Amino acid sequence: MQAQEIHRENIIIIGAGPCGLAAAVELKKIGLNPLVIEKQNVVHSISRYPVYLEFFSSPENLEIDDIPFTTAGPKPTRLEALHYYRTVALRRGVRIHTFTTVERLSAKPEGGFALEARRRATRPVRYEADIVIVATGYFDHPNLLDVPGEDLPKVTHFFTEAHPYTNTDVVIVGGANSAVDAALELERVGARVTVVHRGETLARGVKPWVLPVFMAKVDKGAVKLMLRSKVAAIAEETIDIETPDGIVTLPNDFVLAMTGFHPDRRFLSEAGVVIEPEGWPRYDDETMETNVPGLYLAGVVASRNEANEIFIESGRFHGRKIAAHLLATGRIAGVPR
């Protein structure tokens, strides 16, 4: 029987999204060489964005370590972001174990942490580290509708591109940017689109240059908008919508549930991090350290009321706070205080 592979590190970062990469770069600047563990590819969440997505932020607000993010237009595209973050990781020499899933994180009695992981879903790997930074994001954990039929193959919480939906009946659930953008793309390729949203109006954060275009489509009947409504049940060829006037049944081929995502804090709790009654982990805003010494947070996993309160724009600076705290405390051997 083959011995289990074991890696011993000073510091490990879980998650190779923009905030995890930013933390790695900041740590390298103070003389550390962290290992980043990522269960998919580098910046996996961005690779799952719609193919033609354009970021809301300007490029300078997405930069890491003042490395210029040059774009063809005023807003970066998905493809430009993938190229930028991939290039930052390569040029800064960030060590990354991709396609490796951390299944359990625990604090060792003698100090430090043990991480039980699985490489490419089959090979067990154990990591040990003095310091761990959790930067796991949230894009793999959608907010479910919790209705009958949600597990049907026709239902997805991810939208990549419109082409497969040509000449089909599609219900989009949600009223924020992702729902509006998907509706416009689907209508352009000939899908029959209905947007279902439980609010009185669309979300306040819908991009101001997109909202008039969407509402014009609604006014012309090209897109159907059902406000104060929610999905009641999903069947193979229909969908039931609960409206103020009762249940409405629509013909339906696909459901895109653009209902947002939430961080998975399960293994934080298992590692001893206190989860506050409101549902978020306990940590120090100034240092990003949790109540477990040596265990830090970076990025959206540190969000409180809403997962989208921390974006790349703010989460990219968490690594700087962590690096400053490690320097001040001298916890890592070989790094001058």
Of 327, 321, 310, the closest CA to residue 136 belongs to 310
The reported pTM is 0.84
Domains and CATH numbers, the chain: 5-140+261-329 (3.50.50.60), 155-257 (3.50.50.60)
User: 311 CB contacts (<8 Å, ≥6 apart)?
Assistant: 57, 300
Of 32, 22, 20, the closest CA to residue 130 belongs to 32
> What does the radius of gyration of the chain's CA atoms come to, in whole angstroms?
22
Q: pLDDT tens track of the chain, all 337 residues?
A: 456 788 899 999 999 999 999 999 999 999 999 999 999 999 998 998 888 888 878 899 899 988 899 999 898 999 999 999 999 999 999 999 999 999 999 999 998 999 999 998 789 999 999 999 999 977 667 889 999 999 999 999 999 999 999 999 999 999 999 999 999 999 999 999 999 999 999 998 888 889 999 999 999 999 999 999 999 999 999 999 999 999 999 999 999 999 988 777 777 888 899 988 887 899 999 999 999 999 999 998 887 755 444 467 788 899 999 999 999 988 775 554 4
